[in-house]
Amino acid sequence: MEKLWKVENLSKSYEIKSEFKREKIYAIENINLEIYKGEIFGLIGESGSGKTTFGKVLIRLIEPDDGKIIFKNTEITNLKENILRKYRKKFQIIFQDPYKSLNPRLYCGYIVMEGIQGKNRNEKMEKAIELLNLVGIKKERFYDYPHQFSGGERQRIAIARALSTEPEFIVCDEPTSNLDVSIQGQILNLFIDLKEKFNLTYLFITHNIKIVRFIADRLAIMYKGKIVEIGKTEEIFENPKHPYTQKLLESRI
């Protein structure tokens, strides 16, 4: 299988200052993994285990302390911003709370248009309508603001916005955690359909073992900033090796 990402010894720490001392805490420590093109790579772990930090470091939204990030055989760890710009639009991130990524003062259609490159205004508008339609938002709603939509619809708009830059890779950071269970299923299926349609690869972050089992081809389990187990999702569910994985799967969080 073609490798999209290779990560070697990736670490990121934060300095925690209290009244009496300074402490260095590793949000992620010595991460080694590969993500293959076209797969959904699940990342699961309890709150604070470093999942979001890993996703952001991978796509260079946060600087690592140490380690190597290789995207399609090119090391991007130390690329300067002017060169990194070329990569930025290939990577997208979708958060739990779409309010973080949607400008409240823009019509949803304009939000999607913003990301579309190299077209005139009419073409951008047509493309935005097409993308919104693909994620299940009708064109009659082009001139509605984010607050006029339901949570599920807002996440659909965030997905259309992410697709607008024609990305190759999307970090999905708990994208359905704020939604009702019935809506969760619809959005997960939308992610799967879009992946096939646009040849995407996902890093899918969640703390929900049912969701990860449903969606992920392979899976890494994170515990206190480290990967404790990695493998095919079904194999891990059938035969979890690390004690923490066993506990996590038993607890059915």
Ligand X SMILES: Nc1ncnc2c1ncn2[C@@H]1O[C@H](COP(=O)(O)OP(=O)(O)OP(=O)(O)O)[C@@H](O)[C@H]1O
Which stretches of the chain bind ligand X, using CB under 6 A? Answer: 14, 27, 45, 47-53, 207
Which H or E element spans position 214? helix 209-215
CA-closest candidate to residue 106, choices 156, 68, 148, 78:
148
Q: Which is nearer to ligand X, 14 or 198 (CB)?
A: 14
Minimum CB separation from ligand X for residue 40, in Å? 18
45 binds, among ligand X, Mg ion, none (CB under 5 to 8 A by kind): ligand X
Contact 15/23 with Cβ under 8 angstroms? yes
Q: How far is CA 216 from CA 2, 150, 219, in A?
A: 17, 26, 6
d(CA 223, CA 90): 29
Alpha-carbon 209 to chain mean position = 17
Minimum CB separation from ligand X for residue 191, in Å? 19
Minimum CB separation from ligand X for residue 27, in Å? 3
176 binds, among ligand X, Mg ion, none (CB under 5 to 8 A by kind): none
d(CA 99, CA 107): 13
Amino acid at 144: D
CA-closest candidate to residue 6, choices 66, 65, 74, 52:
74
Residue 176 lies near Mg ion (rule: CB under 5 A): no
Q: Which is nearer to ligand X, 55 or 152 (CB)?
A: 55
207 binds, among ligand X, Mg ion, none (CB under 5 to 8 A by kind): ligand X
How many residues lie near Mg ion (CB under 5 A)? 1
Minimum CB separation from Mg ion for residue 208, in Å? 13
- Name the burial class of residue 238, with classes exposed (0-12), middle (13-18) and buried (19+) by CB atoms within 10 angstroms of its CB: exposed
Minimum CB separation from ligand X for residue 13, in Å? 9
Site for Mg ion in 36-55 (CB under 5 A): 52
Q: Which is nearer to Mg ion, 29 or 149 (CB)?
A: 29
Any bridge partners for residue 22, and if so which? 17
Q: Which is nearer to ligand X, 18 or 117 (CB)?
A: 18
Q: Which is nearer to ligand X, 51 or 161 (CB)?
A: 51
- In the complex, the residues that contact Mg ion under the rule CB under 5 A are 52
